Structure 1
Amino acid sequence: MEQSQHLCRLCPRNCGVDRSRQTGFCKAGDKVKLARAALHFWEEPCISGEEGSGTVFFSGCPLQCVFCQNHQISAECYGKEISIERLSEIFLELQNQGANNINLVTGGHFVPQIIQALDMVRRDLKIPVVYNSSGYETVETLRMLKGYVDIYLPDIKYFSPERSRRYSHAPDYFEVASKAVQEMFSQVGAVEFDERGMLTKGVIVRHMVMPNGVEDSMDILTWIAENLPLDDILVSVMSQYTPFYKSTEFPEINRRLTQEEYDRVLDWMECMGIEDGFVQELSSAKEEYTPDFSLQGV
């Protein structure tokens, strides 16, 4: 997709901007922009392993959450513009560093460029490609990735349109994300692991529990149990919420999660029969969850 010739419709915002002339809702132009490309050790164990996940953090984001822990790159679009050729080189450099996979973090607004870069290294790239997403993706854009992505790592952040409107200006979030996750599963199918226990194919659905969001989390887990094949996916429930960025403007989320809130969600997860996956311990946010965006590896 040449942005100079087509108005951008890659994400659900459908802003129709010519990104060769101005930035889209995602804050990005038509040139790939990265904030970091390095080994990362704090994803789920079957993604990071001991060697690390080869994470590529793209600048900009179509969702723009008010609490984003990566707001320097998502909202402020900090990063460095690179060529598609350079992006393909980065994939191989991470592989050579021993990465278990190539982990594309929030790259939905650069899907055409990602595809071009993967095509350049198709014969040399031997590790799985992970698509790490907010879940706010169009089915049409995801279908462009069929055959390129081995592992999908989407969030389902909200069930309530009111919450997604208030915190991400996206009242259609769940409607969009639920269809996106089903499309992801239809592409890659059931989870598969190698002899080391590393994920080679499949979907891990993530959900971060938020303050005053227990009922929303329960609704999401209910939907997962009723609409996705629990034996064929993994579910990752996270407790790492920390009030970053504009959280101070929203008193109800301007705090950490309580143990009582988290326990209620985990109890409901068990009631729903969701057994395969990961659960974070409730603890203080760790610095590792917010990488140092210093253009490392870019």
Structure 2
Amino acid sequence: MLPRTSRHSINTTRHLPLIAVRRRSYLAPPFLLDSFTPRYQLLTATQASKKRSEAYAHLRACNLCPRLCNVNRYEKRGHCLIGSDVVVNTIAPHFGEEPCLQGHNGSGSVFFSGCNLRCVFCQNHDIAHQKNGFSLTPEELGEWYVKLQEVGKVHNVNLVTPEHVVPQVVLSILHAKELGLKIPIVYNTSLFDSLDSLHLLDGLIDIFLPDFKCWNDSTSKRLLKADNYADVAKESIKAMQAQVGDLCFTPDGLAKSGVLLRHLVMPGYEEEGRHIVRWLAENVSKDLYVHVMEQYHPRAHVGKERRRTTGSGRAEEVAGTSREGGKRRYEEINRPVKMEEVDGVKKAAQEAGLWRLLDAAEHGGFNI
């Protein structure tokens, strides 16, 4: 039986607020921010003016991405199909990103039409491979950022596949800054960026969200329709890391600055994923925040009937006439990825020293 004084103390505290139980936290002081100011808010007027001039110059002779089209985008279209304005398919709060980006209110995603890659498995091929959407000037785009902040109450502005519209993005951020934008900018990229492009973006982007897709040149030529993809990606990720460092959070568990790297594990390409995570650990940072993704499923051109070129130069779908016996296109990736393939890449990442691997929150909410 408890002593009278103990019983009395228990009874008198029944109506007092409960003491909060300390939750398990994955944040350590190097990655925890007491406060945050977007990088674009720290630019001086002179720096902003210089970036505007550089952006306009690049639009008149566009060599910012590795395609090096060298076109005047006020007059012609390059590989990406987009001119001096941007074409946007969707602008809205989005809840399909990493938990530390979407939080409770969503990530303010801007899905750009066009792309400088032609991934045969593209999950957004109806947007990226075509010019579907509505045109906006850079200034109108910046006004949408502010609408996302004020009306949508989103946690960030998430620029999805912006590699081919970097000059317009620069102009839009600078305009939104003048209109009162105060939330982080996320650069959500397929990692086919040039160093010149990233130099132009320096001081404007808070979170880089690159997707390192494949390792071998033969794979990038076949599946991405791009030469030297891995070499370009390696230089780009180093530059991103140099600009913003490792991913950092505020105490509410929301990412505010740094690099969050994705790798989508492809069926049959587990070994390339292993090479990627090992290289990242050895050459970028062992504190790099990495999301090894398992969401792959056949889309775009994967699984379609094979094609042949007719005498008129047009391609038509045919079945049963190829040397492979009529198999469908890109047959090797025409299946879901296996969990053992995903686990193999995660294991390689851990063995290489990467420890900040994104996992789903056990409590069903967003990760802290």
Normalised to the residue count of structure 2, the TM-score between the two structures is 0.73
Q: Are the structure 2 counterparts of residues 192 and 116 from structure 1 closer, same or farther at C-alpha, using a change threshold of 3 Å?
A: same
- Structure 2 residue matching 1:247: 3-state secondary structure: coil
CA positional deviation for 1:139: 0.7
State how 1:9-88 maps to structure 2 within 5 Å: 9-88=63-142
Aligned position for 2:155: 100
1:168 pairs with one of 210, 224, 234: 224
Q: Are the structure 2 counterparts of residues 42 and 5 from structure 1 closer, same or farther at C-alpha, using a change threshold of 3 Å?
A: closer
Q: Are the structure 2 counterparts of residues 240 and 5 from structure 1 closer, same or farther at C-alpha, using a change threshold of 3 Å?
A: closer
CA positional deviation for 1:273: 2.2
CA positional deviation for 1:275: 1.5
Deviates more, 1:92-101 or 1:185-194: 185-194
- Structure 1 residue matching 2:272: 3-state secondary structure: helix
State how 1:233-272 maps to structure 2 within 5 Å: 233-248=288-303, 249-272=329-352
**Would you say the 8 A contact 1:210–1:257 is kept in 2?**
yes
C-alpha distance in structure 2 between counterparts of 1:153 and 1:162, whole Å: 25
- Structure 2 residue matching 1:122: 3-state secondary structure: helix
1:205-262 CA-to-partner distances (Å, cap 9, x unmatched) read 110000110110100011011111122x211110111110111211001111112222
Count of residues paired in the alignment? 280
**Would you say the 8 A contact 1:3–1:19 is kept in 2?**
no
Opposite residue 134 of structure 1, the aligned amino acid is S
State how 1:117-136 maps to structure 2 within 5 Å: 117-123=172-178, 124-136=180-192
**Would you say the 8 A contact 1:3–1:18 is kept in 2?**
no
Deviates more, 1:19-28 or 1:136-145: 19-28
**Would you say the 8 A contact 2:60–2:74 is kept in 1?**
no
Percent identity of equivalent pairs: 40
Opposite residue 259 of structure 1, the aligned amino acid is M
Opposite residue 151 of structure 1, the aligned amino acid is I
Which sections of structure 1, spanning at least 5 residues, go unmatched? 282-298
C-alpha distance in structure 1 between counterparts of 2:266 and 2:102, whole Å: 24
- Structure 2 residue matching 1:51: 3-state secondary structure: coil
Q: Are the structure 2 counterparts of residues 259 and 202 from structure 1 closer, same or farther at C-alpha, using a change threshold of 3 Å?
A: same
Alignment RMSD (CA, Å): 1.7
- Structure 1 residue matching 2:242: 3-state secondary structure: helix
2:168 pairs with one of 103, 106, 113: 113
C-alpha distance in structure 1 between counterparts of 2:70 and 2:185, whole Å: 28
Aligned position for 1:285: none
Aligned position for 1:294: none
**Would you say the 8 A contact 1:4–1:20 is kept in 2?**
no
1:60-79 CA-to-partner distances (Å, cap 9, x unmatched) read 00011011010111101211
CA positional deviation for 1:92: 0.3
C-alpha distance in structure 2 between counterparts of 1:201 and 1:265, whole Å: 25
Q: Are the structure 2 counterparts of residues 223 and 70 from structure 1 closer, same or farther at C-alpha, using a change threshold of 3 Å?
A: same
Aligned position for 1:275: 355
Which has the higher Rg, Structure 1 or Structure 2? 2
Opposite residue 224 of structure 1, the aligned amino acid is L
C-alpha distance in structure 1 between counterparts of 2:292 and 2:90, whole Å: 25
Following TM superposition, the consecutive aligned residue runs of length 4 or more in structure 1 with deviations greater than 6 angstroms are none
**Would you say the 8 A contact 1:206–1:237 is kept in 2?**
yes
